[in-house]
Amino acid sequence: MIRIAAVGDVHAGDDSRGMLRPHLDRLADHADLLLLAGDLTKRGRPAEARVVVDELGGLGVPTVAVLGNHDYECDRAEEVAAILEAGGVRVLEGSSAMLEIEGLVVGVAGTKGFGGGFAGACCTAFGEPETKAFIGHTEALAAGLESALHAIERADVRVALLHYSPVADTLMGERLEIHPFLGSYLLAEAVDRAGADLVVHGHAHAGSEKGVTPGGVPVRNVAQPVLRRAYALLCLDGRRRAVGSGAPPPRPPWGATGAHGHLPTPVGRHTRPHASW
């Protein structure tokens, strides 16, 4: 059994220092791996990346991340990634990581992803150069994700780690008008072609936790404003089958849950998981 803790959209900054760490100090007692689904900083400043390392680094479990749109805001994403890497957080973009955990090989393939929409209401690479560039970026990142998943096809467990959503299911609760800016069906197509056991993403703060790709791969939205807790705990076995997802008992709401809110204040320590797929 592999226990995966996952969270995204913590939007760390100087004013959130020390808010999340106390709820993660015993993470190794509950999880074997931590996945960070992007938007780790507020505006992609190097100083904010250092706060992320202080809050989420050195927890005693391997930590793998992708960046989100907030992490690109100041055009210093490479610096942000370098700081995270120096702090022990593996950052993926069209790449993968293979980890040996509890006698099993866990493969994680990651990309930020991008927008474009979903079947019946999606943008296509037609018309102005700007439109072609928009969709071209999504196509390139989806292709990178597919390649990264193929690179881990021999792993016992395969996880796709994204920021943008691959399905509309986990966007339910968001305004329909902004769905094209929250994800793309091209990401789901890449997952279904290459194969995965689980997809984890963030970005959709007002969305829903659970979804599935057209090919049947479970999808979880782990944006912190959706979780309203320090992290989700997802359990997989070595037979490539999602067997459960863990969550602590219901907690009071976090302090801030707006679409671009600051890091909310944690209100409880994670406890034993219960199955809820």
> 26-44 burial by CB neighbour count: b if 16+ within 10 A, else e?
ebeebbbbbbbbbbbbbeb
Dihedral sign (CA 208, 242, 217, 193)? positive
**Which pLDDT score, from 0 to 100, does residue 261 have?**
30
For residue 56, the model assigns a pLDDT of: 86
Burial of 262 (0-12, 13-18, 19+ CB in 10 A): middle
Domain ranges of the chain: 2-246
Q: Which of 204, 216, 140 is nearest to 175 (CA)?
A: 204
Q: At a CB cut-off of 8 Å and minimum separation 6, what does 162 contact?
A: 37, 38, 66, 110, 111, 112, 113, 145, 187, 199, 200, 201, 202
pLDDT at 119: 87
Contact (CB, 8 A) for 215 and 255:
no
- Exposure of 92 in the CB half-sphere (CA atoms within 13 A): 29
CB atoms within 10 A of CB 22: 12
Q: How far apart are CA 259 and CA 177, in angstroms?
A: 14
Residues 255, 84: Cα–Cα separation, whole Å: 26
Question: Tens of pLDDT along the chain (277 residues)?
Answer: 899 999 999 999 988 888 888 989 899 999 999 999 999 999 999 999 999 999 988 899 999 999 999 999 999 999 999 999 999 999 999 999 999 998 999 999 999 999 999 988 888 888 899 999 999 999 999 999 999 999 999 999 999 999 999 999 999 999 999 999 999 999 999 999 999 999 999 999 999 999 999 999 999 999 999 999 999 999 998 665 444 444 443 332 222 223 323 223 222 223 222 222 2
User: Nearest CA to 55 among 66, 76, 41?
Assistant: 41
pLDDT of residue 239: 60
How many angstroms separate the CA atoms of 50 and 111, rounded? Answer: 21
- CATH number listed for the domain at residues 2-246: 3.60.21.10
